[in-house]
Amino acid sequence: MKKVLLLGAAGILSASLALAQNNSTVNQSGTSNAIVNQTGSNTSSIDQNGLNTATVTQSTNESSSIIQNSVDGDAVNSATVYQEGGSNSSEITTNGDGNTVDVNQMGKNDKLPGNMGHGNTANVAQDGDGNMATVDTDGDGNSAEIAQSSDNNTAIIDQGVGWAENNTASITQVGVDGGAGNDALVEQRYDSNEGHVYQDGQGNSANVLQNTRANSPAIGSYAELSQVGENNMGTIDQDGSENAAYSYTIGNGNMVDIRQDGDDNLAGLFQGGDDNNAYITQTGNNNAGGFAQLGNGSVGTLTQNGDNNASGVAQGDSDVATINQDGDDYVLGAQVGSGEGNVVTIDQLDGAQAAEFFQVGEFNELTITQSGGDGNYAGAEQIGTGSVATITQEGEMNVSLSGQYDGANNLTVNQMGTSNFSEVSQTGNNTAVVNQNSSAILP
């Protein structure tokens, strides 16, 4: 027991404990080192077994608990807690060797300017070797939780910019014994954000960035990013209020990039396979979009600007989908690729447009461009190999319906003006061209 030696070694500490009613408990076995600095009414508990180092610094009404168990004793575990404010709490449990924990809780209380943060909590649990966890919290009522198992994982939770309240963040990492580990960051700015990262495997990288823009009653955003496999990369970046994003990946070498700037946007993504890439960018309000990629080597890109866009795309192997929408537009479609896969490109601009598509096979190409007014609709289906369809509608209330089957068919549709309608169905190796320009005046 080194409790007497530790408290005696810091003469100032013993005096402050007597005056401020601090409570410190230190239990050690092996080659351990503990330093406790407390000002105010604080409680700290340190329990060490093996080769460990712990430092606790607290000011005004904090609680800290550190439990460290060194398994092999070949690398030092290190835990540091710094708390300043009121009613903050932290709990650290480490089992293994060479693990590092750094908890920093402080910040200004927005209700009482000049005072330090209150009511923050941090919980860190490590079971393995070479893991690193960092929690940095500024503000009030924030919650951070990190759980790491197996080896070489790195997790960082960074909450607040001084006046931050009621953010919730968690990182769970399940690595591989002796493996490369996983990296995760959750960064939250201003109020009421919630972000969660789950990683199971090795070589995965995840970033969740949330910003409600200002310290106001605005409700923050929700993000959930999960990776099961190896060498996956994921980013969710949200700037605004009441956005939500979900990403779940099972496989290896996949990439996810979700960016939302505005309010009330929703993004969903699922990838089940290897080497898929998905990109969702939504700028505006009340947009909803997502991808489901269920094979290998597919690429999905969705860009929605403006308000009230909606889209959903499902893809198989080696498919490529590119969707661009600019306000009040709608897309729904699926591609089931085989071999080299299929390609779809949809651009909907300058009005409320809608498109639906379905492609099965390989080497099929579909391009839909709609603009110039409201109410254009394109529905296209291609089944087989090597068909190409290009549909362009400029105006309003135009409709194009097409189907191409069992061969390398080619279709070109150009409809300009108002209330044009075309319907084409081809089977075999056929070519069709439709040009229509109506100047009908709608009632």
Instruction: Give the range among 117-126, 171-180, 194-203, 236-245 with minimum mean pLDDT.
Output: 117-126
- Residue 186 in any domain: the answer is no
State residue 113's pLDDT score.
46
Mean pLDDT of the chain: 88
Instruction: Give the range among 18-22, 122-126, 139-143 with minimum mean pLDDT.
Output: 18-22
- Residue 81 in any domain: the answer is no
Task: Report yes or no: 377 and 357 within 8 Å, Cβ to Cβ.
Answer: no
- Residue 293 in any domain: the answer is no
The model's confidence at residue 210, banded by pLDDT at 50, 70 and 90, is very high
**Neighbour-count burial for 279-295, b at 16+ CB within 10 Å, e otherwise:** bbbbbbbbbbbbbbbbb
In sequence order, the 6+-apart residues with CB closer than 8 A to the CB of 439 are 417, 418
Which range, 13-22, 30-39, 88-97, 241-250, has the best average confidence (pLDDT)? 241-250
Structure tokens at 316: 């198989």
For residues 244-251, average pLDDT: 98
Instruction: Give the range among 110-124, 270-284, 320-334, 341-355 with minimum mean pLDDT.
Output: 110-124
* pLDDT surpasses 80 at 109: no
Rounded to a whole number, what is the largest CA-CA distance in the chain?
Answer: 95
Q: CA 427, CA 408: separation in Å to the nearest integer?
A: 9
Looking at the chain, the whole-number percentage of residues with pLDDT higher than 90 is: 68
- Residue 78 in any domain: the answer is no
Quick check: pTM over 0.95? Answer: no
- Residue 296 in any domain: the answer is no
- Residue 77 in any domain: the answer is no
Q: How many domains does the chain have?
A: 1
Q: Is 367 exposed, middle or buried (0-12, 13-18, 19+ CB in 10 A)?
A: middle
Q: CA 67, CA 39: separation in Å to the nearest integer?
A: 22
For residues 61-78, average pLDDT: 86
Closest CA to 80 of 100, 106, 110: 100
Looking at the chain, the whole-number percentage of residues with pLDDT higher than 70 is: 90
The model's confidence at residue 318, banded by pLDDT at 50, 70 and 90, is very high
Q: pLDDT digits over 397-423, tens only?
A: 999 999 999 989 999 999 999 999 999
User: H helices of 218-318, where?
Assistant: none
Which range, 100-114, 160-174, 348-362, has the best average confidence (pLDDT)? 348-362
- Residue 415 in any domain: the answer is yes
Instruction: Give the range among 53-57, 286-290, 350-354 with minimum mean pLDDT.
Output: 53-57
Domain that holds residue 442: 301-443
* pLDDT surpasses 80 at 269: yes
For residues 197-226, average pLDDT: 90
- Residue 443 in any domain: the answer is yes
State residue 8's pLDDT score.
32
Q: Where would I find the beta strands (DSSP E) of 72-111?
A: 77-84, 88-95, 100-105, 108-109
